Amino acid sequence: MSEKGLQVADEGLEDIEIALLLDGVYRYYGADFREYAPASLRRRVREAVQREGVESVSALQAKLLHDTSCLERFLALLSINVTSMFRDPAFYLAFRTKVVPLLRTYPFVRLWHAGCSTGEEVYSMAILLHEEGLYPRCRVYATDMNPVVLRRAREGIFPLASMQEYTVNYMRAGGKRFFSDYYTAQYDHVIFNPALKANLLFSEHNLVTDGSFNEFHVVLCRNVMIYFNKTLQKRVHNLIYESLVMFGVFGVGNKESLRFTPREKNYDVLDAGNRLYRKVR
Amino acid sequence: MNKLVVVGTSTGGLNALQMLLPALQQEFSCAVVVVQHRGKEPGSQLRDFLQRSSPLPVKEPEDKEPILGGQVYLAPRDYHLLVERGNFALSTEAPVYFARPSIDVLFESAADAYGETVVGVILTGANGDGARGLAKIKSAGGTAIVQEPASAQASAMPEAAIAATNIDRILPLKEIGIFLSDVCHQRPRGELK
Ligand SMILES: C[S@@+](CC[C@H](N)C(=O)[O-])C[C@H]1O[C@@H](n2cnc3c(N)ncnc32)[C@H](O)[C@@H]1O
């Protein structure tokens, strides 16, 4: 009970404010974050409140709805883009040894990186496929909801300072050449060899609001669904299931799995530790 | 109501945890969640190391894994570990004060999700991570425990925590184990809702 004797809800005020804000952003702009995982979402909203210099989540809501530049900043804040080349080298090593032999049996291979961020994962895959002699018959679709990161992904320009870490990752991932064969350094950046881009296709796609757009032999969706709540995860698992050919391969992040999802029974495990699965029914 | 125990530590944490974990015996009914600052090196050595001194099972949780009593959960390398109502969640957002996993991120999410049922524990460490999170736990009605700085291998982290909020108990390591057992033993185990 508040001072005036009004009934105050059990649910925290901030939770209500966040729900209202997300609803407003969805109804007005069509950007749908209503089913993102609540804890990390709350952190982002609080950070936006601070950065925008407003007093409360409700005040942020008002600013978001009346000021599109505020919305753009908010969208940028909500898309967590941290990524790196050959992140989790063991994953790529397992991909080489367990997935590549399967892919050799197809005359033409379509891969989909869902939530590719700035593209490091995509260029890593292009290098791997190239070294395995598969690249000429592959088409790699790389999508993200965020047009800003996609623009960077298309350029294929990455900070020079990251190359030391990536080189170590590349070697651990079973790399067969010198990592530096693949890029040219320019000032504090490197540009990846344009030949690697030949079969890459970057485009905007939102896993929440867009549907299946092709049939793939491989779908990688790593460290993207951790930002979704369980209901939304289920939906996206269905979307990915529908987008895979029978016996297609599905890879998720190191700390994700198909356990606790309704599609678990549709996949066989190809490599449990490296989170590689194969659609079998 | 079952408690949720969250523990943060950095420099000296391995020794400290090695002494603390044996105190949490099989009957321990709460879930214990540990952030130990760590590098990006792959492998499960840290988990294996902690398991050797822990009567309770130690594991690195997966995304959306339910939170169970009588388990020690270790934040995986290169991810932030967050607590939601009923389950864990992971995030790769930028390191907070150079740390991923970050103690503040875990503690704040625990305070948001579980309020007064949270017991926050800050052990030895050479930076200020956790102070903000512990203050959040206190203001949400939870309990704050800090290792006595004089007995900590690195005192900066306990000191920062003490400066940040009202601490319920400042204790040497051995007594932290006893205090936690007291709060958590002899209660029915179960899934945290
Ligand atoms: C942490 S990054 C993962 C990058 C890469 N897959 C990796 O594992 O390194 C998460 C990406 O998911 C994207 N994302 C989040 N929600 C999305 C959605 N609904 N549809 C498509 N992409 C989304 C974000 O924009 C961000 O670029």
Residue of A176, A150, A180 lying closest to A167 (CA atoms): A180
Active-site choice (B10, B102, B109, B155): B10
Over residues A112-139, the mean pLDDT reads 98
Residue B78, SS3 per DSSP: coil
**Of B65, B76, B91, Cβ closest to residue A40:** B91
Q: Is B137 helix (H, G, I), strand (E, B) or coil?
A: helix
Domains and CATH numbers, chain B: 4-184 (3.40.50.180)
How many whole angstroms separate alpha carbon A45 and alpha carbon A21? Answer: 10
Chain B residues interacting with chain A (CB cutoff of 8 angstroms)? 42, 60-65, 76, 79-80, 82-84, 87, 89-94, 105, 108-109, 112-113
Domain for residue A84, yes or no? no
Which of A33, A59, A78 is the last residue before a domain boundary? A78
Mean pLDDT, chain A, rounded, equals: 95
User: Which pLDDT belongs to residue A262?
Assistant: 86
Within this chain, do residues A45 and A93 fall inside the same structural domain, yes or no? no
Residue A158: beta bridge partners?
A190
Gap between the Cα atoms of A30 and A40, Å rounded: 21
- Are A136 and A219 found together in one domain? yes
Ligand 1 site, residue A224, Cβ cutoff 6 A: yes
Average pLDDT over residues A18-42: 97
Residues A269 and A193 in one domain: yes
Q: How far is A256 from chain B (nearest CA, A)?
A: 5
Q: For B94, which of A82, A223, A233 is closest by C-beta distance?
A: A82
Q: Considering its fold, how many domains does chain A have in total?
A: 2
Residues in chain A: 281
Which of A17-29 are b and which e, b meaning 16 or more Cβ less than 10 Å from the residue's Cβ?
A: bbeebbeebeeee
Measured CA to CA, the distance from residue B165 to residue B171 in angstroms comes to 16
Q: Exactly one of B54, B129, B151, B155 is catalytic; name it.
A: B129
Residues A61 and A139 in one domain: no
- Classify residue A197: in a domain, yes or no: yes
pLDDT digits (tens, 9 = 90+) for B2-17: 899 999 999 999 999 9
Pair A19, A9: CB distance under 8 Å: no
Whether the ω angle into residue B101 lies within 30 degrees of 0, i.e. cis, is yes
pTM, full prediction:
0.93
pLDDT band at A2 (very low <50, low <70, confident <90, very high): very low
Which residue range forms the structural domain that includes residue A152?
A: 89-279
Distance CA A178, CA A170 (A): 9
B84: chain A residues, CB-CB within 8 Å: 37-39
Q: Which of A37, A82, A227 sits opposite B84 (nearest CB)?
A: A37
Judge whether A43 is closer than 8 Å to chain B, CB to CB: yes
Locate all alpha helices (DSSP H) within B40-189, ordered by sequence.
45-53, 103-114, 131-139, 156-164, 173-184
- Does residue A60 sit in the same domain as residue A150? no
Same domain membership, residue A131 and residue A42: no
- Closest chain B residue by Cα to residue A233: B64
Domain contains A109: yes
Q: Sorting pLDDT into bands at 50, 70 and 90, what band is B186?
A: low
- Give how far Cα B116 sits from Cα of B1, B119, B126, B137, Å: 10, 8, 28, 8
Other residues' Cβ atoms within 10 Å of the Cβ of residue B182: 9
Tokens 């930076």 -> residue: B127
Q: Determine contact: A90 vs chain B, CB below 8 A.
A: yes
**CA–CA distance, A237 with A263 (Å, rounded to integer):** 7
Distance A145 CA to ligand 1 centre (A): 7
- Based on the fold, state whether residues A108 and A48 are members of the same structural domain: no
Give yes or no for residue A117 CB within 6 A of ligand 1: yes
pLDDT score, position A1: 40
Query: Would an 8 Å CB–CB cutoff place A246 in contact with chain B?
Result: no
Strands B169-171 and B58-59: unpaired
Q: Is B10 a catalytic residue?
A: yes
Residue A9 Cα to ligand 1 midpoint, Å, equals: 34
Residue B148 phi, psi (nearest 5): -55, 120
How much is the average pLDDT of A191-210? 97
A10 pLDDT band, cuts 50/70/90, is low
Q: What are phi and psi of A64, to 5 degrees?
A: -60, -40
Please tell me if residue A82 touches chain B, with a CB cutoff of 8 Å: yes
Q: Which residues contact B162 (CB under 8 A, 6 or more apart)?
A: B146, B149, B170
Boundary (domain end) residue, out of A52, A78, A104: A78
Rounded to the nearest integer, the mean pLDDT of chain B is 93
**Pair (A40, A163) in one structural domain:** no
Average pLDDT estimate for A107-128? 98
- Spacing, Cα A112 to ligand 1 middle (Å): 13
pLDDT digits (tens, 9 = 90+) for A45-102: 999 999 999 999 999 999 999 999 999 999 999 989 999 999 999 999 999 999 999 9
